[in-house]
Amino acid sequence: MTEEKKVEEIMTKVEEEVQKPSEEEVQKEEVVEEEEEETLEPLVEEGEEEEEKVKEPIPKELVQRRRFLKRQKDKDLFETVEEVFDMSTQMAVYELMRRGVIGELLGTISAGKEARVFCAKDPEGNDIAVKIYLTSTAEFRKSIRKYIIGDPRFEQIANRGLRRLIYAWARKEFRNLKRMMQAGIRVPKPIAVYKNVLVMEFIGEGCRRAPLLVELAKPKNQLDVEEWTKIFNTVYDYMVKMYQKAKLVHADLNEYNIMYWKEEPVIIDVSQAVPISHPYADEFLRHDIQQIRRFFSSVGVEVPSFAEMYAKITGLE
């Protein structure tokens, strides 16, 4: 059987099974448009553990208009169907299409052990990024354990099924992005989250993502010391705002999680960010400072001492 035929069969199966949720269920899992409180609410809503019930099927013509996979011999997209889009994920993507969030899903722009990020188009044809957390990776719970222990937002779901934990993790990244953006930090603008699918602003152009700082430094340094110093000062300011205004610690801040777009650094991958009340927040902050000092020193920036940065970020200076 050809890859094209396999994709055709998978998509036909999805079209037969995708159905429209009731109004009550839609309200339970809003595509997060409500304003967030100063302290994040628990990531599990009442009744969320119950399986969704479906009633009316989505009209066939609507499904046909909103196919999120091009039916062509494209190895990358075929592997996407096989590895990432289990039936539940495909239905989640369709739901976001039904709500007018996603118009078309295109190719992969990054792939990790826990998630894939895709370039997509909204219904108006604008580039958006769609991050899909894998629901079948056995390492997920183990890899995030240190970030959820002691986090009150996960007390209700830490010991539940892996899928529920992943859904909560996706919502956590959405809320962290929103919180950082409100604090004046340049991050991808969060657009929507549903189950294990996060939709956000695409940083780049024409489905070509913006470069990471590490890509600007290696194998050949593409910026001069003055430009690197400007970037460092901005990132340093972000770290202060993240701690003092957003009340968060990134917990994995380095040259691999900062993009550079339109002469401005953009912080990405904030799912693991923890509130400053987290029992390991201080340890994570110290590690972030060490990583930022290490990288910017390597490109010639005269960075402040660890003690000076720590005091300024935490407001203890």
Judge contact between 81 and 69, C-beta under 8 A: yes
* 86 assigned to active site: no
DSSP states of the chain as a string?
--HHHHHHHHHHHHHHH-EEEPHHHHHHT--S-SPPPSSPPPSS-TTTTSPP-EEEEPPHHHHHHT-SS--S--HHHHHHHHHT--HHHHHHHHHHHHTTS-SEEEEEEEE-SSEEEEEEE-TTS-EEEEEEE-SS-TTHHHHHHHHHTT-GGGTTTTTS-HHHHHHHHHHHHHHHHHHHHHTT---PPEEEEETTEEEEE--EETTEEPPBHHHHHSSS--S-HHHHHHHHHHHHHHHHHHHHTS-EE-SS-STTSEEE-SSSEEE---TT-EETTSTTHHHHHHHHHHHHHHHHHHTT--PPPHHHHHHHHHT--
List Cβ<8 Å contacts ≥24 apart for 35-42.
Answer: 36/175, 36/178, 36/179, 39/275, 40/153, 40/175, 40/179, 40/275, 41/153, 42/152, 42/153, 42/155, 42/156
Catalytic entry in 127, 151, 269, 288: 269
* 269 assigned to active site: yes
Catalytic entry in 86, 122, 237, 252: 252
Tokens of 313: 């970020």
Tokens of 11: 């998509």
Q: Which residues does the annotation mark as catalytic?
A: 252, 269
